[in-house]
Amino acid sequence: MSLRGITKRFGAVQALSGVDLDVYPGEVVAIVGDNGAGKSTLVKVLSGVHSQDEGSITFEDEDVTIPDPAAARQMGISSVFQDLALCDNLDVVANLFLGREVTAGRVMNEEEMERRSWELLRQLSARIPSVRIPIASLSGGQRQTVAIARSLIGDPKVVILDEPTAALGVAQTAEVLNLIERLRERGHGVILISHNLADVQAVADRVVVLRLGRNNGTFNIRDVSYEEIIAAITGASDNAVTRRAAAARPSEENPA
């Protein structure tokens, strides 16, 4: 999937300005930035919640538009938002197939849905004691597992995870990071939105930094330091001194 020049305005607020992004199969791309950098707006454009004002989206070498979330799912783009949108009073099976129930005639095929639930959770090496217990009985990491597993129904090509480790403990965070690595191993393109740079450095292949709604750097995770990412996020690498030095450098290399 390739985005070029994505722009989005909300009245006088310029949320995104010419954002570029590429995602390849079997790759985890982390999008990082401070609050207000445009991360959530970009995710909503990709998931069909918002339509971009300008720019283009190419998916599998074809120019596409994403008018709504249903179109995104049909295209193969699945999203897991920070609130997870799970029903605490329903069991794991019901949450996984909510709105996409498997039927036999006019009756729900509970046996088939349970079989497919176990199959999907095993593929993710998920630690869920039973698919028939209510979501309210699960830990935070297990809930995130169910939300990610639900996003994989229909075998999407791109999975978007918005702050998947927020408010999780150390053990639960490790569980979710293992799930992200499983998604990569299965050949999914993964977009990870996170404020936690330790998580990003643990699982991401590339890091895309947004600052004030614009691209402010794309880095290979093996070639960038923690300090360089922080500098791109805060704008420490873009100030009056560095701009003056950059402007003077060409004239020094090629004097008139």
Identify whether the C-beta of residue 110 lies closer than 8 Å to the C-beta of residue 127. Answer: no
pTM higher than the cut 0.75: yes
What was the pLDDT predicted at 237?
A: 61
Could you give the CA distance from residue 171 to residue 245 in angstroms, rounded to a whole number?
46
Confidence of residue 239 (pLDDT cuts 50, 70, 90): low
Can you spell out the DSSP letters for 104-158? ETTEE-HHHHHHHHHHHHHHTT---S-TTSBGGGS-HHHHHHHHHHHHTTT--SE
Which of 109-113, 166-170, 210-214, 218-222 is the least confident region? Answer: 166-170
pLDDT digits (tens, 9 = 90+) for 195-214: 889 999 999 999 999 999 99
Confidence of residue 247 (pLDDT cuts 50, 70, 90): low
Collapsed DSSP state (helix, strand, coil) of residue 35: coil
Identify whether the C-beta of residue 212 lies closer than 8 Å to the C-beta of residue 238. Answer: no
> In whole angstroms, what separates CA 36 from the centre of its chain?
17
- Average pLDDT of the chain to the nearest whole number: 88
Q: What integer is the mean pLDDT of 118-139? A: 88
Could you give the CA distance from residue 39 to residue 51 in angstroms, rounded to a whole number?
15
Supply the CATH classification number for the domain 2-85+156-253: 3.40.50.300
Which residue matches tokens 């999937």?
1
Helix (H) / strand (E) element for 197: namely helix 197-203
